[in-house]
Structure 1
């Protein structure tokens, strides 16, 4: 049996993370966890730091539970801080999953116009 895969999408807003995440999800049957969508569903357009921590703690647990049950996961957020990426990578490793980081870059003007 192959190890489940955690795909971590990394990049600035407007870099194309969600477009690539949707493609990966469709072509690999991975579960797409889209942090922006989850945040809007739970908190609307305005949220505070505490709510953000609550959101990500919950999404991390959801991702790990899916990986533990053999499902591939595409985690779609900016993961701008290495500490956040490393934390989730370690959690995935602890349940026997491998992690692939998909780092998207684009020029600043394109990112701003898309975001």
Structure 2
């Protein structure tokens, strides 16, 4: 009997330890790790590059879906600052027959910022410069996972205007196909 594949999602702000945790999970479970920062700098030399991060993340979610469909697990090291993003990725995992594992990583704010700065100083090829204004803006927009999310309570209905979470996901990440509809060739 084969075990159910798992899609791990590391959630948190820059410098909290998401990538370190994602690497540990991927190594321990011998599964693929998908981290946008590993691709953004080499491909675009920038963390956002005119919206390309959303495009890249959509493809990574699709790859994770395909990996789960094949019976293997994956780690998405994204951050996912909103509950909508996290619920959508949970539904992607479940639609592929996988189990969803939410890994929330947080630190004291001063330590988190210090780690982000140290990473830029010691391994600039793995990150991007972050100002105090960047950190303040991100902290203001970040919504940590709720108790319901962390306890894997039933997924709520998708946001208004969307028939499914997979529909919402395909709008949020433009290169993610509608996984709830047949692909048209």
Q: TM-score, normalised by structure 1?
A: 0.93
Return 5+ residue gaps in structure 2 as ranges: 117-185
1:48 aligns to what? 50
Instruction: Note if contact 2:5-2:73 (Cα within 8 Å) is conserved in structure 1.
Output: yes
Return 5+ residue gaps in structure 1 as ranges: none
User: Which has the higher mean CA deviation after the structures are superposed, 75-84 or 94-103?
Assistant: 75-84
In 2, distance between residues paired with 1:58 and 1:67? Answer: 14
Q: Which has the higher strand share?
A: 1
1:63 aligns to what? 64
1:14 pairs with 2:8: no
2:40 aligns to what? 39
In 2, distance between residues paired with 1:68 and 1:40? Answer: 29
Larger radius of gyration: 2
Greater relative contact order (Cα < 8 A, sep 6+): 1
2:80 aligns to what? 79
Matched residue SS, 1:106: coil
Q: Quote how far apart the aligned CAs of 1:4 are.
A: 0.3
